[in-house]
Structure 1
Amino acid sequence: MRVRTTVVAASTLVLCLAAAGCGADDSGGGDGKAAGGKASASSTPAADGTPDATPDSTTDSTPDAASEPSSDGKTLSEAELTNVALVTDEVPGYEIAPLEGTDDRGTEKAGDEACRPIAAIINGSPEPAPAATVFRTAMDTTDEGDDDPTVVTEILTSHPKGGAEELLRSVREAVRACAGGFRTTSDEGPSTYTGVKKLPAADVGQESFAYQVTGSLEGERVPLVFHLVRTGSTVVTFYAANFVDETVPEIPAKLVTAQAANLP
């Protein structure tokens, strides 16, 4: 397996999902260091021996006309996405920064077309293709001095009419269809993901959906957690990974809630 680091902390932040292979099979290199979010106490289910092929039964937030927050559905420009992205001090205890190196996206292609939406997000390129994209990282400053600080990456995307809804719909369907895992090929070689399952999602935005993808690194399980939130034509994808042990990393609810509150 080739380790695709979600974030390399310090001065060179690079999009993990574009650097090398994250859920790859056991034959490749990589040092297995956690670089996309340290394992920590999480509100999401931990890896507890439950087979990854078993979908999580927790419900997620789906559109409800009676309860939807107001949104004009406008397709935001890159500048407008930048204006609604979280900034440092907006969420106490987190330093927010642009993610560098995002021009080089991942190239993973799912062997099963039904799993393509999941692979697209792993590549850092959610589908349908957005009109504009902004990347941010949120680092837990309480971990200052830790060799492996907790880092969550955000991808903010705006979509032409109907595109944001299609993104959430396709990911939901892919999580169901690919529960037993899938394989991909890329410029770096083949990758294997052993399971996909739905996770509890914060009830924010007009739609909210979370899931876990489990990869493999030298025979060890590598959990990646994703949380998608949609309001109008804007989608925010949060993700974190743990390359140290099999504990599921946390995407803090306060980050998700604060970012969702900024969406127009």
Structure 2
Amino acid sequence: MGGTVVRNALLRRTVLSASAASLVLLATACGGSGKADAKPSGPASSSASAPAAPAAKGKTDAELTPLLVAQADLTDHVLEPVSAEDAKGGEDSTSDKPECLPLVKAQSTAAIGTASGIARVIVVAKGKEPAANASPEEKVKAAMDALKATATSVTLQSYEGKGAAEAFGQLKSAAVPCAGGYTADQGGESGKVTKVTQAAPVTGGDEALAYTVVGDADGEPFTTQLVVVRKGNTLATFSAISLGGTAEQPTAVVAAQLKKLG
């Protein structure tokens, strides 16, 4: 889908960048990284009845940035900033199903509704380091495995009043109408999501949901793990993919970010 095309390209570049140093070092060493229900299941369901956020003043970009997960919070990951150009990537996304547009926005780090502030970062899991006495072949394998790392786009959005609860409600309501798939377009690039299902329940914040999104972008199949958590008038979205293999739900990244939010 359009927003996913841009986001996948961004995450590819980030994974390759994060893995590049390891590849160079290792190369040198060899010479001498079902249908969804309307409400989240499991623990997420109990949080779904939590009261909406009270009226509150939204934070600005500058106020949100210090709350965004940082390198010190995830020492076993590599963090990369999102450029202003890439950040604009999903803003002009459209969908053949308007009710699915919030999902497109969430996957492309774009604002859902009218946010007072937004902050973004890309988080890539580090590959397993080879043993000091590893053979050249083992070091090459470790380098190739690093390229299959899960990359997660983390986006914090702040809202005035009940805006965060309303944005979360749009994502939650998208479960049923978008379960069978939808198409999206951005800047002339289009793609198709074929299935949206509930993923493993997530706990934290005032309410949370998790989806597995399966589709095709430019002839390339993809699976995205999407997690959304609302805490007060802040919405945190996590969209994870893997360049090779299957992306796992970014539980460590979610936990670190929620801890940072307090």
The TM-score normalised by the length of structure 2 is 0.73
Q: Is the 1:133–1:155 contact (alpha carbons within 8 Å) kept by the matching residues of 2?
A: yes
After superposition, where does 1:1-264 map in structure 2 within 5 Å? Answer: 3-4=5-6, 5=8, 6-7=10-11, 8-9=13-14, 51=34, 54-55=35-36, 58-59=41-42, 60=44, 61-64=47-50, 73-100=56-83, 101-106=85-90, 107-143=92-128, 145=143, 146-217=146-217, 221-245=221-245, 247=246, 249-263=247-261
- Residues 174, 72 of structure 1: alpha-carbon distance in 2 compared, 3 angstrom cutoff: closer
Aligned residues with identical type, % of pairs: 22
**Is the CA contact 1:213–1:225 (under 8 Å) kept in the aligned structure 2?**
yes
Aligned residue type for 2:180: G
Within 2, Cα distance between the matches of 1:102 and 1:220?
Answer: 20
**What is the RMSD of the two structures over their aligned residues, measured on CA atoms?**
3.0
Q: Is the 8 A contact 1:196 1:214 kept in 2?
A: yes
CA distance in 2, matches of 1:194, 1:259: 30
Alpha-carbon offset, residue 172 of structure 1? 0.7
* CA distance in 2: counterparts of 1:111 and 1:174, whole angstroms: 13
Unaligned runs of 5+ in 1: 14-37, 39-50
Q: Distance in 1 between matches of 2:123 and 2:190?
A: 30
Partners of 1:86 and 1:112 in 2: how far apart?
33
Report the secondary structure of 1:89's partner residue: helix
What count of residue pairs does the alignment treat as equivalent?
221
The DSSP-based 3-state class of the residue aligned with 1:129 is coil
Indicate conservation of the 8 Å contact 1:143/1:149, yes or no: no
Against the structure 1 CA distance between its residues 76 and 121, is the aligned structure 2 distance closer, same or farther, given a 3 Å change threshold? Answer: same
Give the residue type in structure 1 aligned to 2:77.
Answer: Y
Instruction: Give the match's secondary structure for 1:115.
Output: helix
Q: Is the 8 A contact 2:210 2:225 kept in 1?
A: yes
CA distance in 1, matches of 2:166, 2:115: 11
Deviates more, 1:120-129 or 1:4-13: 4-13
Report the alpha carbon displacement of residue 148 of structure 1 after superposing the two structures with TM.
3.4
Higher alpha-carbon Rg:
2
